[in-house]
Structures are given as structure tokens and as C-alpha cells.
Amino acid sequence: MSPITHFIGSWLVATAVADSPRDRRLVTLAGVLPDADGLGLAVDVAQSLASGQEMSFHYYAKYHHLWCHGWPAAIVFSMTLAYFARDRWRVALGCLVTFHLHLLCDLLGSRGPSLADLWPICYSEPLFRHPIWFWKGQWKLDGWQNQCVFLAVFTLSFWFAVRLGYSFAEVFSKRLDSIFVSVLKKWRANLFLKPDA
Ligand SMILES: [Zn+2]
């Protein structure tokens, strides 16, 4: 699924498991970090720009979904992030949940353009080759199913933000978050609440 869906979905989980903004940020991060192994794409782009040749996607294809989409990365990320947490055990557990939610979402919906372009989850990479999991019915990355999930998660996050008084923007900045939530509350007041008589 798209990094934005991973991000907002992970933040929703974080609201359920962590009490402080810092801990929610860490749990959210664990649900996004697996895609760090896709940064080889930046090297591919840089090489293509420097050489003037067509882009090869060499590093992207070689490392993406292999280095950070298995249990070794789950342990490393969760332990590292939990180290910076207030409630370490709770955050470690939350990180494991959001990390594996990311894997599940990728298994469901990260197919390329053709039916054969399935992205498998190689759960023990980069240490071991097996097990390799894939789903033949995997949704296209930009397919309608993924768009529906995104819309559902996005809408739910707005509802939670108004209810809780903080939003996924808190991951970036407390100030941005308070502005964002106050805008959402104004929208809700204009749309759903009756004006005073
Ligand atoms: Zn991924």
C-alpha cells in the first residue's frame, strides 16, 4: 500500500497503544520504516541523471521488500524505537504491531501493473531466503481497493482527531497539529452542528 496509508493506519494503531505524543510518534514510525529499503530508488534516479541513461531500477528491485520487510528488521526497529520511548514495553509491542500491519497491507495490495507483478513478503530476509509469502489476488498498488482503504483510513483519522483533540500531524509538529485539529473542528461545526438560535 502507499506510504501515506501505512502512515495514517499506523498512527491510528498508535492512538490505541500509546499515551504520549512521543510514544505515538515512535509506534507510527515503525509502520512506515519498512519502506526505507525502497530508498535505493533515489540512487537509481541519481545514477540515471548523472549518466543520462534510462533508469534501471536496479537498487530498488534488489533491496525493496527484502531488507526491511522481515522479522529481523521488525526486531531491530522495534527495539531501537522502544529505547527512545517513555513506556518501552508498550511501545515495543506497538511497534511490532504496526510493523506487521505494514507487511499485511503490502501482502494485500502492492502489486505492480500486470497480474504477474506480485510483491512477495520474504519474512526472514535478509538473513534467510524462506519463508516467502504471496497472495495471487494481490491488489494493484493504485487499484480501487487500495484507494478505498486509503479513503476509509483517512476519514477515520479525521474523526479520531476531532474526538481526541490531536491528529496524525502531531508526528511532525505539535503546533501544526493544533492548527490542523482546530481547522477540523471548525469544519465539523460548519457541516454538522446547528447554528445557535
Ligand atoms: Zn512496504
Whether pLDDT at 39 is above 80 = yes
Q: How far is the CA of 22 from the centre of ligand 1 (A)?
A: 23
Local confidence band at 41 (pLDDT 50, 70, 90 cut-offs): confident
Q: What is the pLDDT of residues 23-36, one digit of tens each?
A: 999 999 999 999 99
The CA distance from 138 to 20, in Å, is: 36
Contacts of 49 (CB under 8 A, 6+ apart): none
Local confidence band at 66 (pLDDT 50, 70, 90 cut-offs): confident
Contacts of 54 (CB under 8 A, 6+ apart): 48
Q: How far is the CA of 34 from the centre of ligand 1 (A)?
A: 5
Local confidence band at 46 (pLDDT 50, 70, 90 cut-offs): confident
Query: CA nearest 118: which of 133, 134, 103, 105?
Result: 134
Q: How far is the CA of 36 from the centre of ligand 1 (A)?
A: 8
Q: What is the pLDDT of residues 152-196, one digit of tens each?
A: 999 999 999 999 999 999 999 999 999 999 999 999 888 877 665
Q: Which residues have beta carbons under 5 A from ligand 1 (an ion)?
A: 34-35, 106
Q: What would the DSSP string read from start to end of 164-191?
A: HS--GGGGT-HHHHHHHHHHHHHHHHHH
Whether pLDDT at 197 is above 60 = no
Q: What is the pLDDT of residue 196?
A: 59
Query: CA nearest 95: which of 172, 10, 6, 7?
Result: 10
- Sign of the C-alpha dihedral, residues 119, 73, 94, 13? negative
Q: How far is the CA of 6 from the centre of ligand 1 (A)?
A: 8
Element (H, E) at 143: none
Alpha-carbon distances of 29 from 6, 81, 84, 113, 147, rounded to whole Å: 10, 8, 12, 28, 22
Local confidence band at 47 (pLDDT 50, 70, 90 cut-offs): confident
pTM: 0.90
Local confidence band at 105 (pLDDT 50, 70, 90 cut-offs): very high
Q: What percent of the chain has pLDDT over 90?
A: 75
Whether pLDDT at 61 is above 80 = no
Query: CA nearest 107: which of 75, 144, 132?
Result: 132
